[in-house]
Structure 1
Amino acid sequence: EEEDKSLQKKKKRRKQSKFGSLLPLDLTSEILLRLPEKSVVRFRCVSKPWSSITTDPYFISLFKTRSPRLLLCFKANDKLFVSSIPQHHQTFDTWNKSYSSSQPIDGYHMELKFPRSLSYFRPTESVQGLICFQESDTPIVWNPSTRRFLTLPKLNTSWKDITIFLGYDPVEGKHKVICIPFSKSCDDCRVFTLGSAQKSWRTVRTNYNHRSDYPTSGRCIKGVVYYIAFVYSMDVWVLMTFDVKSEKFDMIQLPPSDVHKDVLIPYEGRLACVDRKRNMKKGIRLWILEDAEKHKWSNKDFLAPLGHFNRSLGCNFLLKGFTSAGEFIYVEQMFHKPSYILFCDPVRNSFRRFELKGITDDQSVLSTVHGFTLHVFPNHVESQL
């Protein structure tokens, strides 16, 4: 009987293997691309061809460029509440009407098990699926897809507080974490390359003695990290740049206008600043970086009359970025119950309102009067790292 069972298992395996071999590799790859991140990682052990497909750099690159989502998170009671919603277009109404979406929210929460509670959760942007924040003076890399934390080596510096930037080099496919002291002049920084054999932080000269007072304003676009800084030798605020591959610093003159120094957003693959002189009733004006070498900026005005929502919903909305489809993303300053996200299409002069139902079932969290800071990560993609 045992021999019969063994023969039956072998026949079944051969049948499955024969069926699998009938599928063309390009079709198999397309099927795997549509699966969730955790399933792709688990299916690597199905067969050698599947393992070869899912570990190929081209497959990983395609996997990252799938339909991005809007990732949301907030910290409460030593827990991190994480949710994501789709960003794709839907049928819109006009500005005078309210379109409310009822799509399901994918969410979970996880304990923050660190030596001390995070006194202030200050995450970077989402860069190719990874996010970085800090516990005291120790940087931590977080992969929301796999729910894993990677605690980096402690910085061997006298810096009391740090500003963290997360960069990605698309040529070599590497993430790098960059640290500078917060609100303190410096002429060097610390760099750590993820996925390498590096055991400690490297010191890199910055070329310019400068300071940054805005810990969450860094943006990585096409292999370059941008952030606002004050250069002492010139006595002026500038846009500082860090080339992730070459690890070279440079600076760019800011637009000829007063811009929000804590708001840098990607716009159509370029960096953009928001003009402070425009108010919500008039819409907003973006200053878009056209040529970094020539310090050339262009500006573009958008209609975004959110005064009606601020009055009717009794809250203030902040611009947090753009979707890959060109919609503005406006989020309430503090998360509470109920809470909303607004997607505004300036070209079609339309909007949609997304009500955050189901972001958490923890009633003790929702009953908090003052609410929590809601962190928003537009165009988030899953990462297999």
Structure 2
Amino acid sequence: MERGKNMESLPIDLILEIFTRLPSKSVARFRTLSKHWASTLRSRDFKKLFLARSSARPRLLFAVERYQHNEWIFFSSPQRYEKSLPLDYHTKVSGDVSSFVCSYASGLIYIPFVRIIEKDTPLICNPITGMYEGYEVRKYSKSHGFLGFDPIDEQFKVLDQNSILTIGSGEVNWRTKKVSCDRFRLFDRCSAAGICINGVLYYLAITYGLRSFVIVRFDVRSEEFNITDAACFNDHLEHPSGLSLVNSNGKLGVVNCNFADAGGRRTVELCMSVLEDVETQEWVKYVYTLPQNEVLESCEFKVAGVAAATGDFVLCMKYTCKPYFVFYFNPEKNTLQSVEIHGFGAKLESVEDRGEVYAFVDHVEDLSVSDALQLKSSISHIKTLCACCKKVVQRDNIEEEV
């Protein structure tokens, strides 16, 4: 029996349905079989079908930074309640990696600074497939930027203050956007807090002089800027990293966690302010006291985001360890569930080699996004310059090293 003829006898709808059940890595490999398969698996119908199925099974994406080893390592796990769940290892970026936090938008990661063969470059990568693209460094930058995505034109842009880098358009240089708002010149980005919601990029900044928080709003498609007062968070001016930006039903939410005392026992208090009206700059505050949990009350943790399907706050432990937990808090039901995550590996789970975890909720694999970028090659084949012997090193056995 000839395999080609056997496959061609199957209805095209059934073939597409079979392929939607595969990981994006497998789909990418099948595209190389022939022009026919490349055309079929790049069709608009297949991309829509794949995205719909991927959206029904969202994942948690974990970006682990081991700055002492100059590397970012990417994993993911199912985003659901179970007593324990496995991690899938995806890829690793090695080299002289900066301590600037990576930025996430619509399935892709932006790393502001990587040194590859003595060349400094910002990197855009698909953490699942390992495909990447390097760009020119913006000189004299203090913030190193955020990644935003316009879902209408399917266009990614990096914003670094008022400089913009358009991804996948053939442009290779940063361009400066004239900003009519005088207030824009009076502040600087203060922390890693940034998020893209429905084509609008938000990040936290502090004004000069009389220090106060503001939210910078950047429309990725129109490239228009707006400033929103956020003085209600000024209690966190000394420690802005304690604030997390989340997507709350399509609106911007700013979250911080406090520890309170309940009958002599430490409890976790979750405070979220939602920007209900951009025009009137109205913030509405919600405060939740989480059910008691011995692990959560005794560890360092971060707010990863709010799950779109359930409305759960997702909290993750700050550092890789064993055991490692993710927590789901449902404010309507007042329930807190913990899920043990396995698979970081012995090195990452040791105290000496542990990494800092940045988690992103509702990660889905959008094939149209990866196509639009035309990323060049796998990160596992990046060549770096050894700091000791100055020889070129190629890291192929990535999974063994993790």
- Same fold, TM exceeding 0.5? yes
Residue 122 (structure 1) aligned with residue 95 (structure 2): no
Q: CA deviation at 1:263?
A: 1.5
Equivalent residue for 1:164, pick from 132, 140, 145: 145
Q: Which residue of 2 aligns with 1:241?
A: 217
1:14 & 1:305 partners in 2: Cα distance? 57
Contact 1:258–1:275 under 8 Å retained in 2: no
| Aligned amino acid, residue 106 of structure 2 | Q
Q: CA deviation at 1:224?
A: 0.3
Q: CA deviation at 1:255?
A: 6.9
Q: CA deviation at 1:344?
A: 2.0
RMSD: 2.9
Q: Which residue of 1 aligns with 2:165?
A: 192
Q: Which residue of 1 aligns with 2:357?
A: 374
1:277 & 1:358 partners in 2: Cα distance? 30
**For residues 234-286 of structure 1, what are the alpha-carbon distances to aligned partners after superposition, in whole Å with 9 as ceiling and x for unaligned?**
96422110000011101123274657543211112221012577858373232
SS at match of 1:283: strand
**For residues 312-364 of structure 1, what are the alpha-carbon distances to aligned partners after superposition, in whole Å with 9 as ceiling and x for unaligned?**
xx4233322122322221122322233222122222332332223221243xx
Runs (5+) with no aligned partner, structure 2? 115-119, 261-265, 371-402
Equivalent residue for 2:5, pick from 15, 25, 30: 15
SS at match of 1:26: helix
Residue 103 (structure 1) aligned with residue 85 (structure 2): yes
Q: Percent identity?
A: 29
In 2 relative to 1, CA 68–276 (structure 1 residues): closer, same or farther, beyond 3 Å? closer
| Aligned amino acid, residue 43 of structure 1 | F
Q: Which residue of 2 aligns with 1:73?
A: 63
Q: Report the TM-score when normalising by structure 2.
A: 0.76
Matches for 1:273-312 after TM superposition, within 5 Å: 273-274=254-255, 279=260, 281=267, 283-306=269-292, 308-311=294-297
2:233 & 2:191 partners in 1: Cα distance? 22
**For residues 161-210 of structure 1, what are the alpha-carbon distances to aligned partners after superposition, in whole Å with 9 as ceiling and x for unaligned?**
33311000011011111113xxxxxxxx2211111111211111233213
Q: CA deviation at 1:233?
A: 9.2
Runs (5+) with no aligned partner, structure 1? 1-10, 91-100, 181-188
In 2 relative to 1, CA 247–111 (structure 1 residues): closer, same or farther, beyond 3 Å? closer
* Count of residues paired in the alignment: 344
**Structure number with larger C-alpha Rg:** 1
SS at match of 2:356: coil
Contact 2:244–2:256 under 8 Å retained in 1: no
Q: Which moved more, 1:141-150 or 1:25-34?
A: 25-34
Matches for 1:51-66 after TM superposition, within 5 Å: 51-57=38-44, 59-65=46-52, 66=54
Matches for 1:300-339 after TM superposition, within 5 Å: 300-306=286-292, 308-311=294-297, 314-324=298-308, 325-339=310-324
Contact 1:71–1:376 under 8 Å retained in 2: yes
Q: Which residue of 2 aligns with 1:350?
A: 335
SS at match of 1:31: helix
Moved over 6 A (4+): none
In 2 relative to 1, CA 32–310 (structure 1 residues): closer, same or farther, beyond 3 Å? closer
| Aligned amino acid, residue 304 of structure 1 | L
Q: CA deviation at 1:74?
A: 1.6
1:119 & 1:51 partners in 2: Cα distance? 37
Q: Which moved more, 1:207-216 or 1:164-173?
A: 207-216
In 2 relative to 1, CA 139–147 (structure 1 residues): closer, same or farther, beyond 3 Å? same
| Aligned amino acid, residue 294 of structure 2 | H
